[in-house]
Structure 1
Amino acid sequence: MKKYWYTLIVFTLMIFQSQAQSGWTRKAQSFYLQSSASYYSSRDYYTTEGNLSDSGSRFNSSALILYGEYGVTDRFTAILDVPIVQLNSFSSTETVAGVGSVKLGLKYRLFNNLPIAVQADFEIPTDDGTNLATSNNPNALGTFDQINLPTSDGEFNVWTNIIGSHSFGNGKTYGSLYTGINFRTESFSNQFHAGAELGHLFFDKLYLIGKLRILEKLSSGEGNQGGSFLYGEGTTFTSFGFNAIYKLGEHMSLVTSYSDYAGFLVDRKNIYDGATFSLGVSFEY
């Protein structure tokens, strides 16, 4: 049983970067490192009123992401999440590149023997929220338009979470529930989010995880409406996804994920609706 319990904790901590939600913390002085590449493409834009717009142009985004966790103590884990390269473009523009916002996280397990934790992620902007992409073709006046496609939104966020997890079947199956608030600056509206995860270990090698998450706008804040949709002001959605984690050896695993948006529970607003695919490799000691 101890073997399954340890395996559960290790695999639970292998969930992709910003979507990782678990009541468990890492063992003291142990660490986990993951490098992954993601790709996203969509032409289906939902307006701030929730209407599907015929934008006529496809939005593309890809990134190379480094994610790490370190067990400061058995109940206290430090987290780092860095999109070291992010590429954004429309089908009608050039591609712009930059470093995404950096997340520094702190997770504390409230009880020794219960996987219930509180977590705060400090999202630090890497620029002022401006990264202009030039159109591929001139407009009717013969000039080239520019559109802002920021890789960082230029504002400081604090994502808060309370997370509870539980294991079943000798540790081969687990479930998690979480909820929290994203406190935003620069007159952007605060956001509420909540979600659930369910995972199961197959053949002692393959972990499959299903996820569901909602994001809602809160009424507090002045509601900054300016700038790119990538700022996320007024953005709401329901998202779902799946992760597959295959253990290649004692310390190395292959990790992949798929996520998408849906219209149930919470309407899609101010967002491009499309699937994100990720593939990476992880190491843990």
Structure 2
Amino acid sequence: MKNIKSIIVICCCLFTCYAQAQSGWTREAKGFYVQASAAHFSSNNYYTTEGTLADQGSTFNTSALLIYGEYGISDRFTAILDLPLVRLNSFSTTETVGGVGNIQLGIKYKLLKSFPLSLQVALDIPTNDGSNFAQSTNANAFGEFDEINLPVSDGEFNVWTTLAASHGFDNGKTYASAFSSVNFRTEGFSNQLQAGVELGHLFFDKLYLIGKLKIQERLSSENNVQSGSFLFGEGTTFTNYGVTSMYKVTDHFNVVAQYSDYAGFLVERKNIYDGGTFSLGVSFEY
């Protein structure tokens, strides 16, 4: 079952749901996992808050350097750190601005000894007040340079609570997981619900391939004070699917590649740019 645990950690969408996996397994005591990856997203297909595709006329780009880690405090408790170390945002008509994304600190607890069922609570810590203005590269009709806010942090605390269950099949090379998460937000933002499934298999004792499917829905809202920017995630809903591959170079060192994209067949795309995210990274575990 150790092989299955090692691959669960890399199975989430990079930009919308953080790097950590949603599984029922926890790390063994004093065991750890560290992953560094670079990711890129680019799209000019924006879905409005009503779910209609709008012609934006410019392309939104975002890139990030992501650090993720897990440490087994005990066989049932795992500490989690998710750090977007550098994130760069721009439109094709603006300069590029950057900064550190929300820092996430979490604890996962294995609820049952005989079955992989876990409860995870994670705190999202904002790294700024949600203001990060980029200047347009060309002057407007009045000879002035416009500014647009492209935040790398939403400026508010989130608390993610996740219940997840997993099962490893008899051959020890295949697993399945299902999870449900609620994001409790502050500063008048709407709470969010996510749910998803994952299926992974080890080929040739070296290559893991993992498929994943996830949805996000909006829950109760307050004042929606920051609804103007899609980067705050206010009112954002979607269906997300992706594929992850991990090649085991050694017993402890891996090369990881991921692709994820959005769709509207389960939940409509709202207040989101639709396109593929590519990432490449390395991981080390022990």
Q: Structure 1 length as normaliser, TM-score?
A: 0.96
1:10 counterpart residue number: 6
Shift of 1:12: 2.1
Could you say what secondary structure the match of 1:73 adopts? coil
Aligned counterparts of 1:255 and 1:91: Cα–Cα separation in 2: 29
Shift of 1:180: 1.9
Aligned counterparts of 1:232 and 1:194: Cα–Cα separation in 2: 17
Aligned counterparts of 1:19 and 1:41: Cα–Cα separation in 2: 22
Aligned residues: 281
Amino acid corresponding to residue 113 of structure 1 in structure 2: S
1:142 counterpart residue number: 143
Aligned counterparts of 1:27 and 1:35: Cα–Cα separation in 2: 21
1:154 counterpart residue number: 155
2:108 counterpart residue number: 107
Q: Structure 2 length as normaliser, TM-score?
A: 0.96
1:24 counterpart residue number: 25
1:127 counterpart residue number: 128
Matches of residues 164-183 of structure 1 in structure 2 within 5 Å? 164-183=165-184
Checking the alignment, whether the CA contact within 8 Å between 2:37 and 2:279 is kept in structure 1 is yes
2:269 counterpart residue number: 268
Shift of 1:19: 4.8
Shift of 1:13: 2.9
Checking the alignment, whether the CA contact within 8 Å between 2:10 and 2:19 is kept in structure 1 is no
Unaligned runs of 5+ in 1: none
Could you say what secondary structure the match of 1:250 adopts? coil
Checking the alignment, whether the CA contact within 8 Å between 1:39 and 1:278 is kept in structure 2 is yes
1:247 counterpart residue number: 248
What's the CA shift string for 1:221-275, capped at 9, x where partnerless? 3333543210010000000001001100021000110000001110000000010
Aligned-pair identity in percent equals: 63
Aligned counterparts of 2:227 and 2:217: Cα–Cα separation in 1: 19
Shift of 1:86: 0.3
Could you say what secondary structure the match of 2:5 adopts? helix
Checking the alignment, whether the CA contact within 8 Å between 1:189 and 1:224 is kept in structure 2 is no
Could you say what secondary structure the match of 2:73 adopts? strand
Checking the alignment, whether the CA contact within 8 Å between 2:39 and 2:278 is kept in structure 1 is yes
Aligned counterparts of 1:52 and 1:279: Cα–Cα separation in 2: 29
| Aligned-residue RMSD, C-alpha | 1.1
2:82 counterpart residue number: 81
Matches of residues 196-215 of structure 1 in structure 2 within 5 Å? 196-215=197-216
Aligned counterparts of 2:125 and 2:176: Cα–Cα separation in 1: 30
1:194 counterpart residue number: 195
**Structure 1 segments (4+ residues) deviating >4 Å:** none
Note if 1:56 corresponds to 2:40: no
Amino acid corresponding to residue 66 of structure 1 in structure 2: I
Amino acid corresponding to residue 242 of structure 1 in structure 2: V
What's the CA shift string for 1:77-108, capped at 9, x where partnerless? 00000011000000000000100000101100
Shift of 1:43: 0.1
2:95 counterpart residue number: 94
Note if 1:66 corresponds to 2:31: no
Checking the alignment, whether the CA contact within 8 Å between 2:226 and 2:232 is kept in structure 1 is no
Say which is worse superposed, 148-157 or 5-14, in terms of deviation.
Answer: 5-14
Could you say what secondary structure the match of 1:244 adopts? strand
